[in-house]
Amino acid sequence: MGVWILMMFSYDYARFGKVEDADYHARFNFGAPFYLVAFLLNGLAGIFLAASLPTEGGVSEVSVVLALIQLMGLAGLAFVWISQTRINTANYYLAAVNMESSAQTVFRVNCPRCSGPASSA
């Protein structure tokens, strides 16, 4: 189910593309081939992990993480850490972009997310 977030992300990332590349992105980068690969490969990996890794009790997010760490050791911990950091970074970025867009649309306030402290020159 973690792949479902790709549907929301792809709409936000698609708006950063060039207008002349819209057909290509609609067909390939954000189209059926992308979702087929994403859902099919992740589904197969999930089925394989759920069927092959020994867990106590039912399969859950925590049991899969614990099984990966037991199976792969420190590399499993690194895999979980990196994948969760990637997801959280995308969440924070899109939240900032959407908050900026909302402030501009609703309140007519221009508050760019990248503005740092004013220079004192």
- State residue 85's pLDDT score: 92
Question: How deeply is 97 buried, as exposed, middle or buried, from its count of CB atoms within 10 A (0-12, 13-18, 19+)?
Answer: middle
Residue 97 domain-assigned (yes or no): yes
**Mean pLDDT over each residue of the chain, to the nearest integer:** 80
Rg (C-alpha) for the chain, rounded Å, is: 20
Same domain, 35 and 1: yes
Residue 45 domain-assigned (yes or no): yes
**Mean of the pLDDT values across residues 26-31?**
83
- State residue 28's pLDDT score: 84
Residue 120 domain-assigned (yes or no): no
Q: How many domains does the chain have?
A: 2
Same domain, 45 and 12: yes
Same domain, 1 and 48: yes
Same domain, 64 and 44: no
Higher pLDDT pick, 118 / 90? 90
Give yes or no for residue 76 having a pLDDT over 60.
Answer: yes
Residue 91, domain extent: 57-108
Lowest mean pLDDT among 19-23, 27-31, 56-60, 102-106: 56-60
- State residue 112's pLDDT score: 64
Residue 121 domain-assigned (yes or no): no
Are 49 and 67 in contact by the 8 Å Cβ rule? The answer is yes
